[in-house]
Amino acid sequence: MKQFLLVFLGGGFGSILRYYISKNLNAYYSNFYLGTFLVNIIGCLLIGILIGLSLKNNYISENQTLLLATGFCGGFTTFSTFALESNILLKESTLFQTSLYMGLSVAIGILAISLGLWICKML
């Protein structure tokens, strides 16, 4: 039961922060959802660091991993919003702008996770 509560609390805080960031940054560009993009990239970097710390001599505990990686990062990042916004861009923008948003989101997200893991390896 404690594990479910940790995921629940972390997810709630992550969702609130994602909403705040997206609400305030998505309005800056009409053809690029900056808030969602940054939330997903930051979340990828953060989960890379957290998993790296978890794997490195159990630097953070299983409960901390549940709270922060599964809960917070799971609530903070959002694939469904990314997919919805990509669909909207596909209908309202050019194929280039849509491809740029989607390609950068995926490529930089993967690089951010790799960077987070690398940072922990260097510690």
Give the pLDDT score at 58. 80
From 102, 106, 83, 104, select the one nearest 94 (Cα to Cα).
Answer: 102
Task: Give the mean pLDDT of the chain.
Answer: 95
**36 annotated as ligand-binding:** no
Q: Which amino acid is at 46?
A: L
* pLDDT tens by residue, 83-100: 999 999 999 999 999 999
77 is in an annotated binding site: yes
73: Cβ contacts below 8 Å, ≥ 6 apart = 10, 14, 43, 46, 47, 50
pLDDT digits (tens, 9 = 90+) for 21-45: 999 999 988 889 999 999 999 999 9
> Do the beta carbons of residue 38 and residue 23 sit within 8 Å?
no
Q: What is the pTM of this model?
A: 0.91
